[in-house]
Amino acid sequence: MAEDVFDRAFVAARAVIDGAERPCVVAVRDGRIAAVLDLDPRHPAESVPARETIRLADGEVLLPGLVDTHVHINEPGRTEWEGFDTGTRAAAAGGVTTVIDMPLNSIPATTTVEALAVKREHASAQAHVDVGFWGGAVPGNVGEMEGLHAAGVFGFKCFMVDSGVPEFPPLDPAGLAEAVAEAARIGALFIAHAEDAALIAAAPEAGGPSYATYLRSRPAAAEERAIERLLAEARATDARVHVVHLTTASALAQLRAARAEGVDVSVETCPHYLAIVAEAIEDGATQFKCAPPIRAADNCERLWEALAAGEIDMIVSDHSPCTAELKRMDTGDFAAAWGGIASLELGLPVVWSAARTRGHGLADVVRWMATAPADRVGLRNKGRIAIGADADLVVFDPEAEFVVDPAHLQQRNPVSAYAGRRLTGRVSQTWLRGERVDASSAARHGRLIERGRRE
């Protein structure tokens, strides 16, 4: 009967399911995974009735679509930096099927219900993958948080130091306490760029082409103190909190202690903190500027150890692009350059290239880049190959090598910290709810998603 026929069946000798690799047939109906069958003589692929069968090539691995909960799309207002069309094309090319857009650097920032509506209007007709939104917590908008939460944002993002854009000012200690308390009251996840403004103000100023000088201007102690303050507010209010883009391993001890006390805190880091080290950054190489900054090699290894131990929950891109001019690569002035690294399309091969040399498998990468971020924001239908989940799937060749050419990336501006780097692992196909996503095509399959609502 027609209802017994699946729309598609993916036949894979290797697939990452339930934290392990195994051969299987993944059957899809109406955009969701309807069956996951062992690929063995009892269930040969030919016995699975489907209108279309996709057989992975030898060596290819079937992964769930990645979930990137830290992406700056910047549209409207700074669409010349990145927009929903190019940003979600880049996501699809990199195997990312769900992105959660940060409340800055767009104009308006997503700090009111009206601004959220503007963002959704711009995204709705352009999305190649599914897109959700964070709300912003800034001085004076605590009264907006409940309305934004009801409108479906996935939580609230604040800065504890200057964000770099005037329309998204930081929260001082009193403002942080008020916003965290409100997040706790309405049951929202509260996420923070955790650097202490006072310690950064007291640090040596960044100026000129010296990366060592820039690194000293954003000391690890600033992260430690800001995280300490965030954890104190979480303890006082029983709020759920999340630390974005952790760079310093010296903050892990207090995070470990807070969790032992029952504080609901999660932690992310980013590909650039795991694959690039300060010692390798030449003076004037402003393509590597980000905040917090890329730190030393020994710190990088401690971040990897924390990932292995489960002390860092996830890896997300912090895709923060800008125009080539704003990177000031002509002068190499770290003080003047925009701080941000664009890596939405490259995150998977960057992380895999580094992870495999440290003994990690693709199941680890899937946990860090798909399942954990999906779970933290409540998207239980994303980030996994399981019956009932959205059929967001990625065909990945873990042995393919390529050299990064920024001119061939889908992002709007051809600026990359990975230019010229040889990476291992290439995405060959991306599927969103059972439909093939072609980043070079005009067809768009993405939807706008909301917290607590399954589309």
- The vertex-143 CA angle with 142 and 148, nearest 5°, equals 90
Q: Are residues 216 and 273 in the same domain?
A: yes
Q: Are residues 335 and 370 in the same domain?
A: yes
Let me know: does 194 contact 260? Beta carbons within 8 Å. Answer: no
Q: Residue 292: which CATH number? A: 3.20.20.140
Look at strands 156-159 and 393-403 and give their pairing.
unpaired
In a domain, 448, yes or no: no
In a domain, 386, yes or no: no
Per-residue pLDDT of the chain (455 residues; tens, 9 = 90+): 356 899 999 999 999 999 999 999 999 999 999 999 998 766 566 678 999 999 999 999 999 999 999 999 999 999 999 999 999 999 999 999 999 999 999 999 999 999 999 999 999 999 999 999 999 999 999 999 999 999 999 999 999 999 999 999 999 999 999 999 999 999 999 999 999 999 999 999 998 999 999 999 999 999 999 999 999 999 999 999 999 999 999 999 999 999 999 999 999 999 999 999 999 999 999 999 999 999 999 999 999 999 999 999 999 999 999 999 999 999 999 999 999 999 999 999 999 999 999 999 999 999 999 999 999 999 999 999 999 999 999 999 999 999 999 999 999 999 999 999 999 999 999 999 999 999 778 789 999 999 987 65
Let me know: does 311 contact 252? Beta carbons within 8 Å. Answer: yes
Q: What are the strands of the beta sheet with 135-136, ordered from one edge? A: 135-136, 156-159, 189-193, 240-243, 265-269, 314-315
Q: Are residues 39 and 107 in the same domain?
A: no
Please report how many Cα atoms fall inside a 13 Å half-sphere around the Cα of residue 61, on the Cβ side. Answer: 23
d(CA 34, CA 27): 6
The pTM assigned to this predicted structure is 0.97
Q: Are residues 40 and 163 in the same domain?
A: no
Spatial neighbors of 312 by CB under 8 A, at least 6 apart, are 246, 252, 267, 268, 269, 303, 306
**Across-strand partners of 252?**
none
d(CA 269, CA 317): 8
Spatial neighbors of 442 by CB under 8 A, at least 6 apart, are none
In a domain, 296, yes or no: yes
Let me know: does 22 contact 62? Beta carbons within 8 Å. Answer: no
Residue among 194, 149, 169, 200 nearest 104 (CA)? 169
Which token pair is 164? 């770099």
Which token pair is 119? 């963002």
In a domain, 435, yes or no: no
Question: Where does a domain end: 56, 77, 98?
Answer: 56
Q: Are residues 166 and 131 in the same domain?
A: yes
Spatial neighbors of 22 by CB under 8 A, at least 6 apart, are 14, 15, 38
Total residue count of the chain as it appears in this document: 455
Q: Are residues 18 and 89 in the same domain?
A: no
Q: Are residues 30 and 90 in the same domain?
A: no
In a domain, 198, yes or no: yes
Q: Are residues 69 and 51 in the same domain?
A: no
Give how many domains the chain has, as a whole number: 2
d(CA 54, CA 9): 6
In a domain, 454, yes or no: no
Residue among 120, 59, 131, 124 nearest 90 (CA)? 131
Q: Are residues 134 and 50 in the same domain?
A: no
Let me know: does 388 contact 56? Beta carbons within 8 Å. Answer: no
In a domain, 89, yes or no: yes
Q: Are residues 39 and 131 in the same domain?
A: no
d(CA 88, CA 100): 11
pLDDT on residue 1: 37
In a domain, 228, yes or no: yes
Q: Residue 35: which CATH number? A: 2.30.40.10
Q: Are residues 36 and 78 in the same domain?
A: no
d(CA 308, CA 290): 24
pLDDT on residue 44: 61
Residue reference for tokens 């310690």:
199
Backbone angles phi, psi at 317, to 5 degrees: -80, -35
pLDDT on residue 442: 78
Residue reference for tokens 């230019």:
419
Which token pair is 365? 């990468």
Q: Are residues 171 and 201 in the same domain?
A: yes
Domain ranges, residue 217: 64-379+399-422
pLDDT on residue 441: 80
pLDDT on residue 41: 63
Residue 264, phi-psi category: left (phi > 0), alpha (psi -120 to 50), beta (remainder)? beta
